[in-house]
Amino acid sequence: MTDALVIGSGPSGLATGAELVKRGIDVTVLERGERTAAAWAGRYDGLRFNTSRWWSALPGAPFPRAYGWFPTRDQYVRYLEDYAAARHVPVRHGVTVERLDPAPEGGWNVAATGEDLHSTHVVVATGVFNVPVLPDWARGDRRPRNVLHASDYRNAMPYRGRRVLVVGAGSTGMEIARELADDGAAEVSLSVRTAPNILLRSSGGLPGDLSVPLILRLPTDLADSILSAVQRATVGDLSPFGLGHPPAGVIAQLRERGAGTAVVDKEVLDAIRDDRIRVVAAVDRLDDDGARLVDGSHVGADVVIAATGYTTGLREMAGHLDVLDARGMPRVVDGGEVMAGLRFVGYVPRPGLTGYTGKLARVAARGIAAARDDTAVAAP
């Protein structure tokens, strides 16, 4: 039996592990992949952070200036590996946690692949982007072989000379569409169900997120008014190209559903205006030559890439505990206990989450250390 098990070796899990090690807590971080930060290592080759290094670094571990404003995938994986090594965070790889249950004698029973573990405290830190989601038209036995989720996309090379339909106009969908358009796809279409808010990753040589800490403190209406003016000045009107006005502002959508904004480079907008990325309506169904759209039109496609998001995947692990809301998000996300000995870290929808999660990890670790100290005082 250990003092604490942390599930997931992304930034939330490693930060929590580091804070617990610092407080002398016997902790092990469990990672389902075969390497630390496996989920990040599996993202597409061209991935870069949407938020700048100032707001994305874990506490006490600034990014090297050589990484530039927006770290790449490989830089971030290396950063997390170095972070864990420097803080002596023990990580066990190849361990998939399937279910959590309160133990009759206290603490938690953790059912993992091939073994049963027991711990006084459990911190779940598997992240918001954990299980890929496919639309109804691409699920199960009906999923054609030429449909893949964005989590399976690596780079544009296999799609040169092919017609590609990208479904989903978030940051990932737009960036993948740009890569395809730049690197030789014969045609690139971007299927959009709901027009997103769009913000530039950088403007005038500076990151576009420098004001984020201030913006998040403002009332929603005021923050959205400011960001709407920023969008008009930097992005302009894309309605002639198929991207109309979003149904709500940046902060309103963020607080309501944790999404709704695409943070992209100017080159994405150029590709849309140049018709190298053609914006089309939402997909209704697939056929042998592409997709029938909800507006009755048809788009030809040899490959469909669904950039349609993720779920937390927490229902399988903890859905029976009544600790999740209707969206599958934890009911308590500030690092505090949702049940005795059970905490969730890294489930706050906000820009710069990878940096902010370090603060939540500290809250969780302090709570676990306090519980240990209280137990020690109460012992005869």
Reported as a single tens digit per residue, the pLDDT across 53-75 is: 988 999 899 999 999 999 999 99
Least confidently predicted of 164-178, 222-236, 362-376? 362-376
Task: Answer whether 0.95 is exceeded by the pTM.
Answer: no
- Name the CA radius of gyration of the chain, rounded: 22
pLDDT at 312: 93
More confident site: 140 or 351: 351
Contact by Cβ (8 Å): 127, 39: yes
Instruction: Read off the pLDDT of each residue in 313-330 and give the average, rounded to a whole number.
Output: 95
E strand spans, 82-224: 91-93, 97-102, 108-112, 115-124, 131-132, 147-149, 163-167, 187-191, 197-200, 202-203, 206-207
Question: What are the CA-CA distances from residue 23 to residues 18, 336, 361, 368 (Å)?
Answer: 9, 17, 12, 9
Model pLDDT, residue 182: 96
Where do the domains of the chain lie, and which CATH numbers do they carry?
Answer: 2-130+312-378 (3.50.50.60), 133-306 (3.50.50.60)
Mean pLDDT of the chain: 93
Tell me the C-alpha distance between 231 and 248, whole Å.
Answer: 13
Q: Could you give the CA distance from residue 114 to residue 96 in angstroms, rounded to a whole number?
A: 9
- In single-letter form, the type of residue at position 248 comes to A
Structure tokens at 54: 């100032």
CA distance 97 to 279: 40
More confident of the two residues 1 and 96: 96
Beta bridge partners of 220: none
pLDDT digits (tens, 9 = 90+) for 325-341: 998 999 999 999 999 99
pLDDT grade for 298, boundaries at 50, 70 and 90: very high
Of 317, 361, 325, 319, the residue nearest 343 (C-alpha): 361
Mean pLDDT computed over 100-106:
95
Report d(CA 170, CA 194) in Å as an integer. 10
CA-wise closest residue to 135 among 324, 291, 241, 312: 291
